[in-house]
Amino acid sequence: MDFNEGEIIYIDKPLHWTSFDVVKRIRLRILRRLKQKKLKVGHAGTLDPLATGVMIVCTGRATKRIEEFQYHTKEYIATLRLGATTPSFDLETEVDATYPHEHITREIIERTLPRFVGSIMQIPPSYSACKIDGRRAYDMARKGQEVELKPKELVINEIELLDCELPEIRIRVVCSKGTYIRALARDIGVALGSGAHLVGLVRTRVGDVTLADCLSVDEVARLIDEAPIETTEPEDKKEKEENKSI
């Protein structure tokens, strides 16, 4: 493997890990193996700490492909609990309001979900990485500060009801870059005349990459430690040499 020239690694992100945790762990492992001080490592799409699933990590010169991967269609399996909301729209925060949900049936849900297919406008969660005047929205929200985010246009390609064990439902969502499944849960709750929040989320696909293609963090660590290593010059060193020759 040549981590400087660039490797693309498919990982099943563990529950409770941030996307940065995964990148940091991989970067440190590679640097230790290569005995280098620097290496570009990045991911192609954030997953919330309470989500698991497909995460694409790029190293070295392959980080130039991150934007390409970010625009790939994504698929999620989401579990929603109806009748209650939280400020973060998931289990990061405690329930802040409850709503009637006894009127909701499987038939009503199946009639409601297709409303979200197509191009829609979505207001991102206050507890998100969106920036307001250079500050992360989640930093402001966690400090109790008011957060006002503008709606963003996105595309829901498919939405399917998989299970209905009220007050919980499980749905499959295929969507574009920039979709917040937590915000979709909020909006579905409103459309059903109730409230809803996310209690489980798995990203099952990014483009053609599925969970079956992914390794655990521990498997990636063993791969880094055991794989034959090639030694292309680090990109920053190569750039310095090229600049000297100009």
Kindly list the catalytic residues: 48
Using CA atoms, how far residue 48 sits from 92, 169, 198, in Å, is 10, 20, 11
- Structure tokens given for 171: 């749905």
- Structure tokens given for 195: 């409230």
Q: Is 129 left (phi over 0), alpha (psi -120 to 50) or beta?
A: alpha
Do 69 and 45 form a contact (C-beta atoms < 8 A)? yes
Using CA atoms, how far residue 114 sits from 8, 108, 208, in Å, is 35, 11, 24
Per-residue DSSP letter, 215? B
Per-residue DSSP letter, 125? P
Residue written as token pair 């406008």 = 121
